[in-house]
Chains A and B, each alone.
Chain A
Amino acid sequence: MASPLKCDLCDNQATVHLTQIVNHKVHKVDLCESCAQAKGVTDPSGFSLADLLLKASLNPEPSAAAGLRCEQCGFVPEDFKKTGRLGCPQCYESLTGLVDPMLENMHKGTHHVGKMPERAIERKSLHDRLNALETNLKSAIDAEQYEDAAKFRDEIVQVREAAGLPVSSS
């Protein structure tokens, strides 16, 4: 037997069911009578409805997200259910199973279009490149391939110089 629908905001039985279509996407909320009243659903001019329906798309699918955990900050899907917010930027990668299904209904698209932080991206790619070179350098030294090591060292100097970073021989 199917269990009766629970209210999205508390654990009472839901008796008020709302459906709204925004950008051809369906948003649904199920509420008990007192929550519906409290949220102004029964108020004919109730413009707080949109907020409520938007929040409804924040209800994660429990199955896809079970057992996920952000290795960076320890965030788990249950935390999201409590606050509607994630723990850290890394969560978006660690908890894709939780986030991705929500995004479909929430936004116009699932890929970013628009402004990008050019300088931050440059800095990150520079940082990644230098890290990779340092790693290569270290493994070349460990393997006693000094010709390669010299090549990597020169490259590191070049990259650092080009970026205006201090060239220290460490």
Chain B
Amino acid sequence: MSTAFEKIIAAPAELTDNRDSKCPVVLMTRIRLARNLANHRFPGRADPAEREEILQRCQESLAGTPGLKRSTSVRIEDLNPQERQLLVERHLISRELSGSTVGGGVVINRDQSVSVMVNEEDHLRIQVLRTGFQFRKAWALIDSLDTALEQSLDYAFSPKLGYLTACPTNLGTGMRASAMMHLPALVIAGQMEKVVRAVNQLGIVVRGLFGEGSDASGSIFQISNQTTLGEAEAVIVKRLQNVLKSIVEHELNARDRLLENDPAKLPDKIGRAFGVLRNAHLISSSEAMNLLSLVRLGVDLGYFPEDHRVGVDRLFIEAQPGHIRRRAGRSEIDSDERDRLRAEQLRCEFAKFSSPGYNNLADA
């Protein structure tokens, strides 16, 4: 393993270790900006020499940017497939970039809350991740990073069309703001489809955990703005926030209703999930996601102490195949062995968990 990569991966991370801003329903907030350099072909059309030139130009600017002083810069081609997958599972690079050849790169800050992809679909994809519901902070940070970068990079920009992007769907602000939402009650109650339809009408899109084309294992959904041109960033974020707040409310109502109509159903599901996580010897990653999802719901409902939430959120990431492989210290293990190792890790983690207390059931 390369040392630069180790340096990124080993440090405590915003998503997995920041316990301060963990909250019910919203796992994390993410904003990304698409930016391109003027007078260069977009990465998809540039030849290897031009992609290389773009990478060097961007790396230079990124290295000199305040806020990225202690970041680590790696070339994707220097990483093996396992390392690439690890970065995907941590939401630091996209699946598309993980498959890139010449000139693909990423710069990641110390707590993995900022990552800048180079030569993905656009020359630059700047991303800020914050745990919990934190659009204001995420925007303030990404806005200042973008402004700092622009001191030394000539962005492709048109007064009429805004920031010019490889795909016209990102034109204008180049901004995609999203929240990772944990919506188990809406899923159990079969209301997700209605929610998806309703928010689509407002220009808001719902995707699975790993973005476009991924499934919603663990009842986790990525919800983001669809349009980028014709409205200012603040207006887009405001509307998204309002929609998200109302989704949170719907989720909480759905939980109340489930507890009211069938008081034993949720505690039963949660208790069983806990039992399996504590005792199973083989768990697939999608089963793990679904069980962890129920335990997180249990924390929200007060069956487990509040501070257990951070552990569950960390396991959402560490139960992924790439992370299991890394713990095993081997690059090639078959899926049965992986399921065994995953169960072993989960047993060990859940042995430290407090057993669920259902004392507050009477008030429900």
Contact = CB atoms under 8 A, between A and B. Distances in A.
A22 interface: yes
Given A47-B196, A106-B169, A114-B233, A85 B203 contact: no
A54 B207 CA distance: 13
B40 interface: yes
B75 to A, nearest CB: 23
A58 B156 CA distance: 21
A58 B168 contact: yes
Nearest to B143: A115
A107 B154 contact: no
Contacts of B226: 22, 50, 54
Contacts, number: 153
Interface residues of A, number: 45
A17 to B, nearest CB: 17
A121 B159 CA distance: 9
B97 interface: no
Chain B interface category by residue count:
35 or more
B172 interface: yes
Contacts of B158: 89, 92-93, 112
Nearest to B172: A112
A19 interface: no
Contacts of A58: 167-169
Interface in A97-138: 99, 102-103, 106-121, 123-124
B295 to A, nearest CB: 23
Contact of B41 (A44, A51, A73): A73
B155 A117 contact: yes
Nearest to B226: A54
B207 to A, nearest CB: 7
Contact of B207 (A47, A75, A86, A110): A47
Interface string A22-65: 11000000000000000000001101111100100010000000
Q: B38, B40, B45 — which one has the most chain A CB atoms within 10 A of its CB?
A: B45
Contact of A115 (B36, B193, B233): B233
A85 B171 CA distance: 11
Interface of B: 36, 38-42, 44-45, 121, 143, 146, 150-151, 153-164, 166-169, 171-173, 192-193, 196, 200-203, 205-208, 212-213, 216, 221, 226-235
Interface of A: 20-23, 44-45, 47-51, 54, 58, 73, 75, 83-89, 92-93, 99, 102-103, 106-121, 123-124
28 contacts: A47-B221, A49-B200, A51-B205, A54-B169, A75-B45, A85-B44, A85-B45, A88-B41, A89-B40, A89-B164, A106-B227, A107-B228, A107-B230, A108-B203, A108-B231, A110-B229, A111-B160, A111-B230, A112-B160, A112-B173, A114-B231, A114-B232, A114-B234, A116-B159, A117-B157, A118-B150, A120-B38, A124-B154
